[in-house]
Amino acid sequence: MKNPKNSQIFNITEEGRVERLDVFLSKVIGISRSQVQKMINAGLVLLDNKIPKKTGEKLISAKTIEVLSEKLLVEGDANSVTTKALSKKKLAKLEVLAETDDYLVINKPAGILVHPTQAMEKNTLVASLLAKYPEIAKVGDSERRPGIVHRLDKEASGLLVIARNQNSFEKIKKQFKQRKVEKIYSVLVYGNLVKDYGIIDFDIDRGENGRMVSRPKIDKMKLKNVNKIQEGKNALTEYWVEKRYKRFSLLKIKIHTGRTHQIRVHMFALGHPVVGDKLYVNKKLVKKGDQVLDRLFLHAKHLEFTDLQKNRVSFEKNIPKNLKDYLDSLV
C-alpha cells in the first residue's frame, strides 16, 4: 500500500523472515537483486524505520520494509536522497584550503571514497560536498561524480580540486588531459631504491582479476619475450628519494599521467610496493615486528593548475600526523 510519503511499505510475514533483505525485495518488487542493492545503498530503503547496515541483512526479527519511490533513482536524484539519509549520521568533515566561485581545493582524509562506486556507498566525499555546496550537483559529466575532476584512492589522503561550475570543470579537466596540472605526492615504499632519481614508464592495464597490472618494458621484437609483453596504456611516474631508512625509502613522486592506481602499480612493478597497500603487496617484505599502518602511505601534498582568470595557482599540504608518527617510528 502507498503512504503519504510517496513510499511503499511491505509487511514481513513469517515466511519472509528466512530471506535476506535484497532477496526479499527483489521478489516482491519484481526487479533484479542488483537494482535492489543500489536502492538500499542509495538510502532508499528503511528496515523497521532504520537504514539497513548491509544489503543482505537477515529479516529474522524485522516487521516492515519501507521503499522510497524508485523514480528517484531513474531521475538521478540518488545523491540528494543519500545526503538526506546521512543526515542522521555523521558526514566526513571537509577541510577546505581554497574556496572560489569556480573551484574548491580540499584536503581529503584517508579512509573515505571520493565518490560512490556501483555499490552506491553513502558516506563519501561527494556526499559531504553536496551537503555544503549543493550547486555542484549538476556540474561534471556524471551524476555520481558531481564536480569531481580527478580522484584519490580511498586509503590515500591529500589535495583535490573540485569544480563549482561547468565552465570550470571543462577547463580544469582539459588541463589534466593535456598534462598541464602538476601533482606531487609523498610516498613511503619498501626497500632502498638503487638510484636517488628515476622515471618509471611501464604501461598499465587491467588484469583478469580486476586489479591493475604493469611490468618493466622489454624488447617486443624478440621471440622469447612474446609471453612477457605487457599491454596497456602509457603511464609516466617520476620519483626522487627524499630520505632512506633501514628497510624503507621516503619518496617525492610526480605523476605525468593519471592511470588507475598508477603510483601503487608502478612501485609494485619496480619491486618497491607502497607501505600500507593491501592490494599490491609483497608479503616477503613485511616483517613480523613492523608497525601496522591502517592506510596507504600515499599523500597528495602539492597541486598546481591554471584558474579561469589564467593565473597559475598552487597549493601545499604536508603529510598528516599519523604518517609523521609512522616515520618517527622507523629506524
The residues assigned a catalytic role are 153
Q: Are strands 237-244 and 248-255 parallel, antiparallel or unpaired?
A: antiparallel
Compute the distance between CA of residue 111 and CA of residue 181 in angstroms, rounded to an integer: 25
Separation in Å, CA 325 to CA 217, 293, 297, 321: 37, 10, 12, 6
Cell of 80: 540528494
Q: Residues near 93 by Cβ (< 8 Å), separated by ≥ 6?
A: 128
For the chain, helix (H) and strand (E) counts, in that order, are 8, 14
Q: Where are the alpha helices (DSSP H) in the chain?
A: 21-29, 33-41, 71-74, 78-85, 125-132, 166-177, 262-270, 321-328
The tally of CA atoms less than 13 A away on the side-chain side of residue 293 is 27
Compute the distance between CA of residue 63 and CA of residue 82 in angstroms, rounded to an integer: 23
Helix (H, G, I), strand (E, B) or coil at 34: helix
